[in-house]
Amino acid sequence: MRFSARLVLRVAGAFATARALETATQWPVSDLKHSSKLSQPSRPLEWGDINIISTTDTHGWLLGHDHSSFPEPNYSGTWGDYSAFVTHMKELAVEKDVDLLLVDSGDLHDGTGLVDGFPAGGVDAQDANEFFKQIPYDVLAIGNHELYVYANTYDMHMNFGQHYKDRYLSSNVNITVLGANNQSVSVPVGSRFRKFTTRKGRSVTALGVIFNFGTNDVNTTVQRVEDMVKDQWFADAIVEEPDLFLLVGHMPVSRDRWPLVFNAIRAVHPTTPILIFGGHLHVRDCLQLDQRSVSLASGRYMETLGWLSVDLDSQGNTQPLNFSRRYLDANVVTYQYHTNRTDLTFGTDQGRNITAGLRGLEERFRLTEQYGVAPRDYSMTGAPYPSNDSILTLTVEEAVPTILALNSSRAAEGIPSLLIISSGSQRFDIFKGPFTRNDELTVSPFVNQYIFIPDVPFEVAVKVLPALNGKGAERLWPGEQEGESREMRAWRVEREVEREYAHWLEDMHRQYYESERSATVQGELTLGYVTADACPGVGDDVAHLPLPAYPIPDFIASRMPEPVDGKVDLIFVDFIEGQLIRTLNELQTERMYTRADASVYAPVWSNQVLGRYARVAWN
């Protein structure tokens, strides 16, 4: 799975301008098509002195989730819907005479066709970010997906950062650019910190910190958090006591290095309220590092809006903060409920413009091009592997073998083969119904070749899969860590996110059925997120049945072939070439295999397979 220029697909330049839809009755029907299926929130939001709406890890999901299989309708709100929600919530904040702030914790790149589906020659997410920028965020932080490719980082520095000015924070991230005298100079991608005063006159000091990310591109620099808190600029930034410290960053709230930043502030200001908004692991989470702080993470893929309200008190007070948090499903029903609006009164001109503009971008990138119609849902973790409902089974047993067979001279000759790939080759589920170019980019973005070693003894080839899974995908071979490629190190970062998200789903599923909540009348509930965190009370805005969560192996294989003369072609993606060849050599001593023994099996890239298969099998 490539995190090089081939993984982070290139983007086209021009930004699609959209016509405004003039009345609420002109709202595109597709944007409200799931409303009748959705449950209303369980209760109104609790407002405080300071109220914050948070997003994180949006990854290009600006047109919402548009499939009809649950849980997707829960997240069907578009970025235009979100814009309207923000507009109305700001009006409510004025009516209630309180502050409302907006924060985002990073990772705008790499996810859907809106950011990855551009024509050659552009910059990832540049077009989509023109619509993102129409939300009046107060604080935003950089994510690791803004740092895999220098061109993306530069665009965030020059365009995104210039738009948001001191609101876009990169406290421990620099970029090297040409200075005034054409000399290379390292400068923050955004700003190191922000000090501002809210509408109600409250002073805020904000920081934007990323975890100790080490797979950033050349000419970008990520400073370790433990070193950042020792810098003089950091000491100067926190020396004055504000009414509130607002820490927004691309870092998990339940572990990692937030305590380093928190403790550095607490050493100077023992009781000042501290609000932390994290991200990166794609989970909903909340905890308190002490009784006068709250940490919140708001999930992934524009599925969740985080809500946090806090009542402030006088400086020097030591009583616990009075706060409330909520995880909002990102859909129009949620938005209308919490803003007291209807279909006729919810839409705004700006929101309609944003949605229409994104639809225009979708057309310009050919994202609605239909390859076929999927006959059922295929899930990553929501169905057991192997099974007919598993996307991994579909990929390794049906899709890849079919397309390779149509494009390989070896297959045409009837030479039997065994295919082995990483389960991490797929990123998202496939849902019953039209399968489009956007679905292909979303589900299978990784760009790899299928290579093979011919004439591998069958009795050896069949041992490779269990040996790989026995050692695990993250096995480090002797001496490998020092010479490990940047691509492999990037894969390890993304693998951790996938693993932690899957473990979180499993944990939420287990805790639900061990709790009293499972006694709810389940027939009235739809599938969705069920959150158990370390903060008091119930955080979910809508009650759901928890998503199924089945374990999956690190590596998967095609159906067992019938060997000819006891030999088969052993096919695999080039990303796992080193690990597979070393495993092959551990399993036998008759021959020492090297990379020179491997060659391209068929002129097919891994990110093309599902689209080609849909044309063949789903039409």
pLDDT in tens, 378-422: 999 999 999 999 999 999 999 999 999 999 999 999 999 999 999
Q: How far is CA 113 from CA 60, 63, 291, 377, 528, in A?
A: 8, 10, 43, 20, 24
What is residue 590's predicted lDDT score, i.e. its pLDDT?
Answer: 94
Q: Which amino acid, residue 332? A: V
Short-list 499, 557, 27, CA closest to 282: 499
What is d(CA 509, CA 529) in angstroms, rounded to the nearest whole number?
Answer: 9
Min mean pLDDT across 7-21, 384-398, 525-539 is at 7-21
Global pTM? 0.92
475 pLDDT band (50/70/90 cuts)? low
What is d(CA 371, CA 118) in angstroms, rounded to the nearest whole number?
Answer: 18
What is d(CA 445, CA 117) in angstroms, rounded to the nearest whole number?
Answer: 10
What is residue 488's predicted lDDT score, i.e. its pLDDT?
Answer: 76
21 pLDDT band (50/70/90 cuts)? very low
Q: What is the DSSP letter of 564?
A: B
- Span 136-154, average pLDDT: 98
Which long-range contacts does 532-539 make (Cβ < 8 Å, 24+ apart)? 532/507, 532/508, 533/284, 533/285, 533/286, 533/287, 534/254, 534/286, 534/287, 534/288, 535/286, 535/287, 535/288, 535/294, 535/325, 537/324, 539/284, 539/286, 539/325, 539/326, 539/327
What is d(CA 109, CA 59) in angstroms, rounded to the nearest whole number?
Answer: 5
Short-list 358, 611, 572, 569, CA closest to 465: 572
- Span 435-442, average pLDDT: 97
Q: Residue 265, Cα to own-chain centre: how many angstroms? A: 29
What is residue 9's predicted lDDT score, i.e. its pLDDT?
Answer: 28
* Concatenated DSSP letters of 178-223: E-TTS-EEEEESSBSEEEEE-TTS-EEEEEEEE-----PPTTEEE-
Q: In what order do the strands lie in the sheet with 193-197?
A: 193-197, 203-210, 244-250, 274-278, 293-298, 284-287
- Span 172-187, average pLDDT: 94
Contact between residue 273 and residue 244 where contact means Cβ atoms under 8 Å apart: yes
Contacts of 287 (CB under 8 A, 6+ apart): 253, 254, 295, 533, 534, 535
Q: Which amino acid, residue 333? A: V
Contact between residue 547 and residue 71 where contact means Cβ atoms under 8 Å apart: yes
What is the percent of the chain where pLDDT is above 70? 91
